[in-house]
Amino acid sequence: MLKATGTTAFGLALAGCLGENSGEGDQDTTTEESDDTTTEGSEETTTESSNGGQNEDVNVGMVYATGGLGDKSFNDMAQRGAQQAEDEYGISFDEAEPETNSDFSRAQRDYAESGDYDLISCIGFAQAETLSENAPAYPDQNWMLVDATVDESNVANYVFREQDGSFQVGHLAGLVTTTELEAGAGSTNPDETTVGFVGGVEAPLIKKFEAGFKAGVEHADDSIEVVTSYVGDFNDTSGGKEAALTMYQDSGADIVYHAAGATGVGVFQAAQQAGRFAIGVDADQSRSEPDFSDVILASMVKRVDTAVFTAIENVVNGEFQGGGDPQVLGLEDDGVEAVYGDELGSEIPDDVKSSLDESRQAIIDGDIEVPDSPE
């Protein structure tokens, strides 16, 4: 459970994690919403650390992407990495959930100025600009950044080959849309070979998801149409639903893949309403969003938890290294992967799965080059 212990003037909550409620158990278990309240009105923010252990003197500050915890994908995966480090190494961590991009700098500086944190984890490409200012301003502070690169000696950068994992689910979508499939609450219409992609913010990172997905669909059948829509927000469920319903009902899409954070919940809602299928992102959303498992064919899992855990583990072991080239996580090391839906995976034909195994290996071997931007 998360307990908010204070807010800054701009409404940024820092929450201490309680060790006994840190999401232990199955890999795909996500954070439950807290019914604790936040106390406002103080200019300064206080934090409580979680339970310690053999490394209780190692403290980590987590600055999440906008949309916050409970998105059942990107931020929750990052939290999972911190929880794993807590479980395995007994570290403690505190959490900040900025509401807007303009809040990132204050959140980063609050942690750095306290002098209490051995590592500050900045989750999401939108934090790169402010971190490029704050990292040199606090040269003795260790930082890690997910999804972008800040070339400073005290910043460890982690990026992913999202396009490769997206190629895999695009390949799946392309094969399934030409197949007559009825499973769970969804079905395909083989006479309508159209699939869709819903993005959150139209940024270079999200374009990598779109590019890989389109390339995978084309690899299956270059006559399949891919319709695309960007909602403009990672936390707009109604906008995601409206965009996906248009694809399902007006364009005849059988399957829609989203890279849109909490906005993607609307895609799942639309899939159920239309009786079609969807593909999740970042986490295995057939498990993190079980209410929609009857329409989620697969998810493009992005192991943000691995990046966070690795960075913390390096600090614990005295092996933190900043600067230089970013660590790139792809298919070969399971940094990204296509994971079949918990309920519907068994319904996907074996020949489709075999084709995905082949394309995965071809990408790893370099026989398929996946673009990182749409044509």
Q: What is the mean pLDDT of residues 173-192?
A: 94
Same fold, 2-160+304-329 and 162-302+344-365: yes
- CA pair distance 341, 271, nearest whole angstrom: 14
pLDDT score recorded for residue 167: 98
- What CATH number has the domain spanning 162-302+344-365? 3.40.50.2300
Please give the backbone phi and psi of residue 265, each rounded to the nearest 5 degrees, phi first.
Answer: -60, -35
The answer on pLDDT for 7 being more than 50 is no
Dist CA 36 CA 63 (whole Å):
20
Report which of 229, 340, 350 is spatially closest to residue 277, judged by C-alpha positions: 340
What integer pLDDT is reported at residue 20 of this predicted model? 29
57 Cβ partners below 8 Å, 6+ apart? none
Q: How confident is the model at residue 190 (pLDDT cuts 50, 70, 90)?
A: confident
User: What are the tens digits of pLDDT across the range 12-66?
Assistant: 333 333 232 333 333 333 333 333 333 333 333 333 333 334 556 899 999 999 9
Give the pLDDT confidence score for residue 308 in this predicted structure: 98
Sorted by where each begins, the domain ranges of the chain are: 2-160+304-329, 162-302+344-365
Helix axis angle, 162-177 to 350-365, nearest 10°: 150
CATH architecture of 2-160+304-329: 3-Layer(aba) Sandwich (3.40)
